[in-house]
Structure 1
Amino acid sequence: MVSSDNDGVSARTAGGGQSTANVVIEHGPSLPPSMTEPKQSVDELVADLKKSPFFMTSLEDVGAEYNPGVEAIKALIYEGSRSEQASNFREQGNEDARSKNWTDAREQYSKGLAVLKVPRRSEDPVADDEDKTELMLKELLLVNRALCQLELRNYRSCTLDCMAALQINPRNVKAHYRMASAMFAIHKLAEAAIACRAGLMVDSTNATLTALQAKILEKQKAMDVKQKKIQEEADIKRKQATTLTQALKARQIKLRNTNQSPETKDAEIKLVPDPMSLKSTLVFPVVILYPLHLQSDFIKAFGEEQTLQGHLEYLLPLPWDTIEEYSSNEAYMETVSGGLIKWGKKVELLKVLSGGKVEVVDGLIKVNIVPKSRASEWVESFKKSRPK
């Protein structure tokens, strides 16, 4: 016979042995349905916990939902005097700064400064040294916000906060250092050096200011060397330009600029081999035009003592001239008056340029090459296209 004790925990046979019969074990009344539903996942549980101010890691965890606990905590920030409120914002900003959350820290410091600007209410108690405390807090908030601006690369805002802090306390070494750092970052080395010296006058043993001053001096030396090199190069170019002008004037070569210079890269009028010597040879970039076929060739350096024939011997026959129409040709250049002058192939370039009839426009010489059989045809066409 099977017997069972009162609490339903075990069941034994009369002989004391464990029964193999099925036993219904009761644990009391059934649980309500809400407690027997499936449990939340871990993520859902954490999300719910974060809605409680005790477990909250950020106000962003609240979302758009109204949370009385959070609103109560936020209201506490604005309890107390202006200095107490500003101190609360400063402490929150310091926590964000320690975590390198510079944007959030800047916002907290800005709120603290804003609180100090709010007019006092007549019923608010004012301590004897309240004004002094507020001024000290303003200085600290400005210097701390300057650090945030520096880390966020808002260098102008950083210097403005430092200047405001120094107006309160000219001996604030951190303000001098952060202003110097901001100036150094934007390569205003003279201003950075002044800020460094001002800070070192307050604390001559300050290691960070001393290190920054060394970096400024090193950078200044490098910039001085670079500026000297730039100045030397500019002086050389200026002397070369003067020598070139003198050489062109001595050879009676006319130049004209239209402010529509063609793109010729490094091809330009120059003296070779020595651009500083009047005895050197003038070379010109020359474009060879084939107007009847809308084709062209470019000669980067055409020496003043060279002839057209020497260059044409290299260019001809033209790859696109399948009937060798240009095997016999004539060369023409525009004159100052808008007409044409024929350039003999054995005549040196200098002789054509120094006659006063031809000018070099925008640093480039243009030569028209036409087949001899069609030369008169092209000349007449050119004359008709010119305005009277």
Structure 2
Amino acid sequence: MSRVEELPDDFDEALDLNKVPPAIAESLPQPGFDAFAAANNEIPFPINEEALKARQTDPNAPELPPAIAAVQSHTSEELMAMMNKTPLFMTDIENAGDEKGENVLLDALQALQNEGTRAEVAQTFKSQGNEAVQELKWIDAKEFYTKAIAVINAKEDKWEKPEDPKEEEALLRKIEEASHINRALCNLELGNYRSCTLDCAAALKFNPKNIKAFYRSSLALFKLDKIAEAEDSAARGLAIDPESKALKESAKKIAERKALLERAAARKKAEEEKVRKQNMILSTALRARQIRTRKTEQPPDLEDARIRMVPDPLSPESTIEFPVVLLYPMEAQSDFIKSFSEMNAIEDHLQYIFPLPWDTKKEYTVEGVECFMQTVTGGLIKAGKKLPLLQILSGGKVEVVDELVSIFVVPISKTGKFIADMKARKTG
């Protein structure tokens, strides 16, 4: 009966597993390593002498090394077809056989997979997964663990019968638990955080005290920003092993993230409450002044300009400021005033706006213009230039639409035409 080989229990989960250990680095092929030449001097593919001669344009050229000649004597399509017959490079199993549909290497590998009991075959795959983990080959390791689990849960029993079925069954459960928890590590390293939590949950069904499952699950949930679940997973693990350094470190990170999110949530709640109070005070102030407001479905983009209370948005004693647009309808021009106090008159602003750069006829002066506003019913009222804006807006005859006050500024000589045009537009 085969033996279950776990990853070491003292395996340091806090290590940076993406750094290649020195021992492995030394064993890796160095630059200039010729894999074909090292393989017993065997050529990778049979040489097609006729095709090779046809490609040689210089009869005096030196003879190619066998490995290079073997590659250059075939087309890329031929090379891909021959590589597909090799298990290492196989991508299309239907076309992996020879003329008779046979592939000796593939048959041999498949036979090996069915050699031994179900537990022995599953253990082989799991051991290969462990070896891949030690080499940081996470994708390969994940595949081996998946195969181990597939063998255990396969409905068709095509393996040798065990001598002791009960012992075999217990061994299968241990292998399945180990494969799930080790595959969870692979998924964690690969960024497959949800899959990691599912593998941890599967491992815990076999062993509710699996510390690695709680640890890896807490890390994956932390990465998913599911802080409450991550905290619960770490807490459950620490309840079993209070001295686990890995779980303590995970719990610390989770607690820091939780505190950060709680502070952010508190700030957001406080800001929302502040805005709510500001809006309530502003709404009350507008009603008290009998200023009508209305919003449309497509308001203009005023950026950060809006009706506001100053200097303190939370004080009912503050004054109201309005965004105001001065329209010059006879010239199709306009000016925008971001903050127009209710205590200011229109002429207070006209004094610094005039003279207008486009007014070549000098028609627009403080004394030479009149101001108008539209009423709620679509008519016009004359807005006194010397009156405070509050006096013009209060009373309910005009309304502030989309938080913007609109004032028409017209030269006295053109007011008759302007009024006529506005009446025509209303009746039209």
Pair 106,293 (structure 1): closer, same or farther in 2 beyond 3 Å: farther
After TM superposition, give the deviation of residue 204 of structure 1 in Å: 1.8
1:77 and 1:246 mapped to 2: Cα distance?
80
Moved more, 296-305 or 232-241: 232-241
| Contact persistence 1:326–1:372 (CA under 8 A) | no
AA of the residue aligned to 1:216? I
Letter of the 1:373 counterpart: S
Q: What TM-score, normalized to structure 2?
A: 0.74
- 1:226 alignment partner in structure 2: 264
Pair 1:322–1:138, CA change in 2 (3 A): same
Q: What does the per-residue CA deviation read over 1:220-264, in whole Å, with 9 as the maximum and x for residues that have no partner?
A: 222222222222222222222221112111111111111322211
Tell me the CA shift for residue 305 of structure 1: 0.7
CA distance, structure 2, for counterparts of residue 219 and residue 112 of structure 1: 37
Look up the match of 2:247.
Answer: 209
Cα gap change, 1:151 to 1:46, in 2 (>3 Å):
farther
Q: Which amino acid aligns with 2:133?
A: A
Q: Larger Cα Rg: Structure 1 or Structure 2?
A: 1
Q: Which moved more, 1:299-308 or 1:185-194?
A: 185-194
Q: TM-score, normalised by structure 1?
A: 0.81
Superposition deviation, residue 122 in structure 1 = 7.8
Aligned letter for 1:308? I
Say whether residues 1:261 and 2:286 are aligned partners.
no
Give the stretch that moved more between structures: 234-243 or 272-281. 234-243
For residue 301 of structure 1, the aligned residue among 333, 339, 343 is: 339
**Alpha-carbon distance change, 317 to 92 in structure 1, aligned in 2, over 3 angstroms:** same
Describe the shift of the 1:372–1:176 C-alpha distance in structure 2 as closer, same or farther (beyond 3 A).
Answer: same
| Matched residue, 2:37 | none
- Runs of 5+ unmatched residues, structure 2: 1-48, 50-61, 73-78, 80-85, 98-102
Greater shift in the superposed pair: 377-386 or 343-352: 377-386
Which residue is equivalent to 1:40?
A: 65
The aligned amino acid for 1:355 is: G
Counterpart residue type for residue 77 of structure 1: Q
**Alignment correspondent of 1:114:** 150
SS in 1 for 2:356: coil
Equivalent residue number for residue 16 of structure 1? none
Do structure 1's residue 346 and structure 2's residue 386 form an aligned pair?
Answer: yes
Q: Would you say 1:79 and 2:104 are equivalent positions?
A: no
SS in 1 for 2:364: helix
Paired residue type of 1:90:
K
Taking only aligned residues, the RMSD between alpha carbons, in angstroms, comes to: 2.7
Cα separation, 2, equivalents of 1:153 and 1:208:
19
Three-state SS of the structure 1 residue aligned to 2:338 is strand
- Any conservation in 2 of the 1:155–1:183 contact (CA below 8 Å)? yes
Cα pair distance change 1:114/1:332, threshold 3 Å: same
Q: Secondary structure at the match of 1:326?
A: coil
Q: Deviations over 1:332-366 (max 9, x none)?
A: 11111111111111111000111210111111111
**Residue 129 of structure 2: aligned partner:** 93
Aligned residue for 1:175? 213
CA distance in 1, matches of 2:69, 2:249: 52
Does residue 375 (structure 1) correspond to residue 388 (structure 2)? The answer is no
Task: State the Cα deviation string for residues 280-309 of structure 1 (Å, max 9, x = none).
Answer: 111000111222322221100000010111
Instruction: Name the count of aligned residue pairs.
Output: 345
Question: Which amino acid in the other structure matches residue 266 of structure 1?
Answer: D
Deviation larger for 146-155 or 347-356: 146-155
State the distance in 2 between where 1:158 and 1:245 align.
52
1:1-388 aligned at under 5 Å gives the runs 38-40=63-65, 60-61=88-89, 68-69=104-105, 72-121=108-157, 124-126=160-162, 127-128=164-165, 129-327=167-365, 328-386=368-426
- Hey, what's the Cα distance between the residues in 2 that align with 1:78 and 1:321? 95
Distance 1:301 1:60 in 2: 74
Q: Which amino acid aligns with 1:147?
A: L
- Deviation track 1:29-61 (CA, whole Å, cap 9, x = no partner) reads xxxxx9xx82517767999xxx9xxxxxx9655
How much does 1:277 deviate?
Answer: 1.2
Q: What is the SS of the residue equivalent to 2:313?
A: coil
Describe the shift of the 1:121–1:276 C-alpha distance in structure 2 as closer, same or farther (beyond 3 A).
closer
CA distance in 2, matches of 1:302, 1:334: 18
Aligned partner of 2:18 in structure 1 is none
Q: Alpha carbons of 1:59 and 1:335: their partners in 2 closer, same or farther (altered >3 Å)? A: farther
Q: Distance in 1 between matches of 2:89 and 2:158?
A: 38
Query: Residues 367 and 60 (structure 1 numbering): CA distance in 2 closer, same or farther, change over 3 Å?
Result: farther
Answer whether contact 1:304 1:348 (CA < 8 A) is retained. yes
Q: 1:41 to 1:313 in 2, by over 3 A?
A: farther
- 2:123 aligned partner, one-letter code: S
> Does the 8 Å CA contact 2:114/2:158 hold for their aligned counterparts?
no
CA distance in structure 1 between the aligned counterparts of 2:160 and 2:290, rounded to whole angstroms: 91
From the superposition, tell whether residues 340 and 103 of structure 1 become closer, same or farther in structure 2 (CA, over 3 Å).
farther
Contact in 1 for aligned 2:117/2:159 (Cα 8 Å)? no
CA contact (8 A) 1:259 1:362 kept: no
Percent of aligned pairs sharing the same letter: 42
- Using a 3 Å threshold, how does the CA distance of structure 1 residues 353 and 74 change in structure 2: closer, same or farther? same
Letter in 2 for 1:113: I
Counterpart-to-counterpart distance in 1, 2:71 and 2:89:
11
3-state DSSP of counterpart to 1:264: coil
Q: Unaligned regions of 5+ residues in structure 1, if any?
A: 1-33, 52-57
Distance 2:266 2:224 in 1: 21
> In structure 1, what is the Cα distance between the partners aligned to 2:230 and 2:311?
46
